[in-house]
Amino acid sequence: MSNPTVAQRFPYVRDMAPGTYFWCACGNSKDQPFCDGSHKGTGFSPVKVDIAAARKVAFCGCRHTKGQPFCDGSHSRL
């Protein structure tokens, strides 16, 4: 498996409603930070995220976080 595409070097901060979402793990989606199916053939798979209550979320933009799908500051070391 190759390295993911760095979509941006800072998190995608979003106000999220309760529901199920799929975070783009490959970095190629046109609907960042969410999956649009662009991972097909890359060896990457989207990460399912269940949001139980409305809240602000910082999704990883660089794709190097250890806590997928949430930002852990890894972008500062790229």
pLDDT tens digits for 5-56? 999 999 999 999 999 999 999 999 999 999 999 999 989 999 999 999 999 9
Whole-number Å distance between alpha carbons of 66 and 74: 8
Evaluate if pTM is beyond 0.75: yes
4 to each of 10, 40, 74, how far by Cα in Å? Answer: 15, 13, 13
Q: Where residue 70 falls among pLDDT bands split at 50, 70, 90?
A: very high
Q: Where do the domains of the chain lie?
A: 12-73
Whole-number Å distance between alpha carbons of 37 and 18: 22
Residues 6 or more apart whose CB falls under 8 angstroms from that of 14 comprise 33, 56, 57, 59
